[in-house]
Amino acid sequence: KAGVTQTPRYLIKTRGQQVTLSCSPISGHRSVSWYQQTPGQGLQFLFEYFSETQRNKGNFPGRFSGRQFSNSRSEMNVSTLELGDSALYLCASRFLAGGNNEQFFGPGTRLTVL
């Protein structure tokens, strides 16, 4: 069974631009979560989608948004990029049924904002 995949793996953008990251979950998993990892703050939860609906959201500004498609693939968008948005963005998927909440992570997208 294929793992969680993320594209692209690396991105370089400039301040003020916007960016879209993509995540494909493990087959059969309907929940996709997004996390930001920085050296200073560590791993922080952005949001989670299940059945195309946002279930919950972390403490991030509205510039960070996401969506989920009917095939469970998810995209995350960051508008008006700031230098501080440079980070490794990780997505995770889980089955989310029958108490099975083990989360599996993708390889991440490394975003650099210049």
Name the site residues for another protein (rule: CB under 8 A).
4, 6, 33, 35, 42-48, 55-56, 58, 88, 90, 92, 96, 99, 101-108, 110
**Distance set, CA 84 to CA 31, 39, 61, 64, 73 (Å):** 27, 11, 12, 13, 26
Least separation in angstroms between CB 16 and another protein: 27
Residue of 47, 52, 30, 37 whose CA lies nearest to 90: 37
Least separation in angstroms between CB 30 and another protein: 14
Is the separation of the CB atoms in 20 and 8 below 8 Å? Answer: no
Return the number of the residue (15 or 51) whose C-beta is nearest another protein: 51
Least separation in angstroms between CB 19 and another protein: 19
Return the number of the residue (16 or 29) whose C-beta is nearest another protein: 29
Return the number of the residue (79 or 105) whose C-beta is nearest another protein: 105
Least separation in angstroms between CB 17 and another protein: 23
